[in-house]
Homo-oligomer: A and B are copies of this chain.
Amino acid sequence: MRTHTTAACSASFPNEDTLILNSSYQDVTGARTQACFRELRCLRAELEATNPDLPKLSSLPLRIVSENNFPTAAGLASSAAGFAALVRAIANLYELPSSPTDLSRIARQGSGSACRSLFGGYVAWQMGTKPDGSDSVAVEVAPASHWPTMRALILVVSAEKKGVSSTSGMQITVATADLFQRRTEIVVPKHMHEMEEAIKNKDFEAFGRVTMKESNSFHATCLDTFPPIVYLNDVSRAAIRVVEDINRKAGKIIAAYTFDAGPNAVIYYDEENQRAVVGVLKGALGTLDVWPDETQIQPQRAEDMDARALKVLKDGVSRVILTRVGEGPIRTEESLIAENGEPVKK
| A216–B178 alpha-carbon span in the complex (Å) | 10
Scan residues 212-234 of chain A and give those whose CB is less than 8 A from a CB of chain B. Answer: 212-213, 216-217, 219-221, 223-228, 230, 232-234
How many angstroms between the C-alpha atoms of A177 and B213 in the bound complex?
Answer: 9
Copies of this protein in the complex: 2
| A226, B240: Cβ atoms closer than 8 Å | no
A223: chain B residues within 8 A (beta carbon): 216, 219-220, 223
Most buried by B among A179, A182, A183, A209: A179
B244 with A237: CB separation less than 8 A? no
* Size band of the interface chain A makes with B: 20 to 34
Looking at A177, A187, A227, A237, the one whose CB has the most chain B CB atoms below 10 A away is A227
A interface: dominant SS? helix
**A window 161-181: CB within 8 A of B:** 177-179, 181
In the assembled complex, A288 has its CB within 8 A of some CB on chain B: no
Cα(A183)–Cα(B220), bound, Å: 12
A32 to chain B, nearest CB (A): 27
Mark contacts of A141-178 with chain B using CB atoms, 8 A cut-off: 1 yes-contact digit, 0 otherwise: 00000000000000000000000000000000000011
Q: Which of A230-284 contact B (CB under 8 A)?
A: 230, 232-234, 237, 240, 244
Apart from the given pairs A216-B228, A220-B223, A228-B240, 4 other A-B contacts in the complex at a CB distance below 8 Å: A177-B220, A178-B182, A212-B226, A217-B224
